[in-house]
Every structure is written in C-alpha cells, then in structure tokens.
C-alpha cells in the first residue's frame, strides 16, 4: 500500500493518523471557550470557599484570585492562546493560571472535578441566556403592545383556515401575540427558578471528603441552594433541555408571526408595510420589496427545534452519571441561543417599524361575508329563532348575496324577506364591521373597550 493510499482513510487534516483524530473528537475548546467567564467565576468562588474553610491558605487563595483575573483579562482582550491539546476551557484556564502563579494553581482543583465544574459553568451560561431571552421577549411584547395601542379600534378580518371568518380589531390581533409571548416569558422565568441549584462541590459524582461549604459557593454564584444529590448534580442537563424547550415554543410563535408578515406584506394583502431596514430588493425586479428578515426568522427556527431534538437524543440513553456523550450538550444550545436572540431582536425591530395599512385592513374586514355570524346572532336575539335555524337562514342569505355579487350589508330588506319574512330593518344595525367588533364585549373579546383593557393590564405588568 502506498503512502498516499494509506492516508486517504484519514483525509486532509487527519493525515497524521489516529492521534489527530482522537484529539479532534475529544477536544471541546473550539466551542466551550464561550463559557470562559462562567468558568473563572466558578473557580473564584471555589477558591474563596477553600480559603474560608481552611483547605487553602489565604496567600494561595489571593494568588489564585489575582491570577484568574489576569486570565479573564487576557481572554476578554483576545490575547489568550487556546490549546486544543488541553481539551477544554477548564484545563486551558488552569494551565495558564499555573504559568502565571505556579504551584498554588494546582491547589485550585481540590474538592471538585471537571464533572461538577462543567455542569456549573454550563448552568451559569444557560442562566445568563435565560435572562437575555427574558429581556428580549419583554422588548418584543412592548412593541406589540405599542402597535395594539395605535390600532385598538381599527378593523381587520379575523381568519380561520386563512379564510375570512369574523371582523376583529388590529389591536386585538396584536394582543394575541402578547399573550403568546407572555406565556414564553413565564416559561423562561419558571425554568430559571427550577434550574437555580449549584452543582459545584458534587465533585466527580460522589461528593468529596474535604470539609467544603457548598452553600457558600452556591450563594457566591447566585444560586438559590446547592443541588441535593451529587449523582444528579453532575448527570443533570434538564436545565439545558428546559431552555431549549422554552426556546422552541417561543421560536414557534416567532415563526407564526413571521408567516403572517410574509402574507400581510404581499401585494395581494397590503395589510402592513415593512420598513426598508428589514426588507430587501430584487436583483432583477425593481418593484420588489421582499420580507427577508421575516423569512429568515421562519427558517432559522428549525435550528432551534433541531437543537432540542439533538440534546434529547444525546441524553436519552445515558446511565448515571457522567459520560463523554455529554460533551455534545453545548454546541446545540449555543447555536439555539444565538438564533433565538437574533430572531427576537429582528422581530422586535420589524414590529416596531412596521406600518399597518388601516384602509386595506378595513376594506378586507368587510369582505367574505364576515358579518354572517352577527346576522345569525341577531336572528336569535330579535326573532327568538333557535341558533341552528338562524344558521340556516343566514346561509341562505349568504348564498343570495353571492348570486347577486354583493355582500350581506348590500342586500335590500326585500331581498332578505325573500328568505325570511320576519326580518326587519334593525338587522342593518349589526351588519357593519365596526358594529360587529364593538358588540364583542365578552371578556377577552375584540371590542375596542376590551382591547384597551388588555393593553392597560399588560402595560401595568411590564412597568
């Protein structure tokens, strides 16, 4: 076998053979360096606790503290040299700390393991992302509330099956998304409460014989308490899965509104005009204004869904406690978090900048026999007709209007009498779209009064 043939099995960068492949598959520094700040925060808390409990001298603890601050400064300034041979962020930081302060660096790892260290770092990183997501969702909700306030009494068609159903208000439609993203907000907040337990001090899996104070490190890192079981502390990735689950539901909501923006901004609908900041032109068709930001949000959401599924697949077959499979927990979460925050920011910008076209909305609101339900309700109220009979009469009137090429309000009283002789002129008072939305006064309904109540309630919540 020639040399060239033997190297084909390894391919370009792995021409050196199995050692290069093992280093590449084993190392995580290419992505887990994103947790540098969290890793150093955890190490500083651990060193302070070791000194407080007498496991570490104050002199060594001070040297470690100063050394870790130097390492953090180097990383933040971009001068730190990461090494693949050192595998991960933990060993890279520890090796550089040893270069800086010598022997005391070797004492830092007393009473802990990379297993509880990585669990702590990752949990701190995810917690930071939850906080960022909460802020991003709140900003998006404010943008929807502002749109709702402007158009609380503007009429538009409400849809089922993407077919005109009943008139609603623009404000009511905007507030529907406020409720959706409000649930996302509560999911992230709820997940944050549940995950806020510190793994640090669980060590490899069984705890440690050193007299450490896990409550002290938990408090220093902003956790509510230490995790109660050392096996679970190092094996748990539920916090990442909950983040991805909440992110996936939030992403689904983003995609639903992105789809509406794509439809609404089309020449066929003209419900909204998107700003130039979130649109692009065509290379060949000068008239085009494409809703690219909305389309990209709609597409990027798949990456968040994929990350959720991928981590579930990683975790589903793992016995307690730590397995190297769990190194594959981070890249998906990092990517999902990046794409969620980008999508939230882009959607907030589009919602803030978009202009609802009131005339187009109102023209569409009255099409498609959208007040048919109002007519049926009037027959029940005014003529004491059973609703099923009223439904049948209304259907006959819709068919009549279709045959005449007009809408229900355009039928004459004589036309209506041809279907049911007891109908009076009062019926025309419920057939206009503004009359229709104003009548929907039930709690949670589309009446402008109710919409403004919803807006006020959310403004109070948001502060």
Q: Judge whether 161 counts as a catalytic residue.
A: yes
176 near 206, Cβ under 8 Å?
A: no
Return the structure tokens found at 358.
């009131």
Active-site residue among 135, 186, 266, 282? Answer: 282
| Residue spans of alpha helices (H) in 102-202 | 114-150, 170-195
Active-site residue among 161, 209, 283, 442? Answer: 161
Catalytic residue positions, numbered: 161, 282
């Amino acid at each position: 076998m020639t040399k060239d043939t033997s190297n084909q099995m390894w391919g370009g960068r792995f021409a050196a053979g199995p050692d290069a492949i093992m280093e590449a598959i084993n190392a995580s520094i290419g992505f887990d360096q994103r947790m540098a700040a969290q890793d150093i925060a955890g190490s500083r808390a651990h060193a302070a606790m070791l000194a407080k409990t007498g496991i570490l001298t104050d002199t060594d603890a001070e040297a470690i503290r100063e050394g870790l601050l130097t390492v953090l400064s180097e990383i933040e300034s971009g001068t730190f040299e990461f090494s693949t041979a050192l595998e991960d962020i933990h060993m890279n930081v520890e090796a550089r700390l040893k270069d800086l302060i010598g022997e005391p660096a070797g004492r830092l790892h007393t009473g802990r393991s990379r297993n509880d260290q990585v669990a702590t770092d990752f949990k701190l990183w995810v917690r930071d992302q939850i906080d960022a997501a909460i802020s991003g969702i709140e900003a998006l909700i404010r943008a929807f509330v502002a749109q709702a306030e402007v158009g609380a009494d503007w009429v538009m068609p409400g849809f089922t099956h993407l077919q005109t159903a009943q008139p609603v208000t623009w404000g009511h439609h905007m507030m529907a998304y406020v409720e959706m993203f409000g649930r996302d907000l509560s999911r992230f907040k709820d997940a944050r409460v549940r995950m806020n337990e510190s793994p640090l001090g669980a060590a490899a899996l069984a705890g440690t014989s050193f007299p450490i104070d896990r409550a002290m490190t938990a408090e220093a890192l902003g956790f509510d308490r230490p995790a109660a079981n050392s096996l679970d502390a190092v094996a748990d990735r539920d916090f990442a899965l909950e983040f991805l689950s909440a992110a996936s539901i939030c992403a689904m909501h983003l995609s639903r509104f992105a789809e509406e923006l794509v439809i609404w901004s089309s020449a066929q609908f003209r419900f909204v005009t998107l700003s130039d900041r979130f649109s692009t032109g065509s290379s060949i068709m000068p008239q085009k204004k494409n809703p690219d930001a909305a389309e990209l949000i709609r597409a990027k959401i798949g990456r968040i869904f994929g990350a959720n599924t991928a981590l579930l697949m990683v975790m589903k077959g793992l016995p307690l406690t730590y397995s190297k499979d769990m190194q594959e927990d981070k890249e998906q979460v990092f990517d999902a978090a990046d794409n969620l925050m980008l999508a939230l920011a882009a959607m907030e910008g589009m919602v803030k900048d978009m202009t609802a076209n009131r005339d187009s909305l109102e023209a569409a609101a009255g099409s498609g026999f959208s007040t048919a339900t109002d007519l049926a309700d009037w027959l029940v109220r005014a003529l004491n007709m059973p609703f099923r009979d009223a439904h049948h009469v209304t259907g006959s009137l819709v068919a009549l209007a279709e045959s005449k090429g007009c809408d229900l309000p355009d039928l004459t009283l004589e036309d209506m009498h041809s279907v049911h002789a007891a109908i009076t002129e009062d019926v025309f008072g419920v057939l206009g779209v503004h009359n229709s939305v104003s009548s929907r006064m039930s709690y949670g309904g589309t009446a402008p009064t109710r919409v403004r109540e919803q807006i006020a309630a959310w403004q109070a919540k948001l502060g």
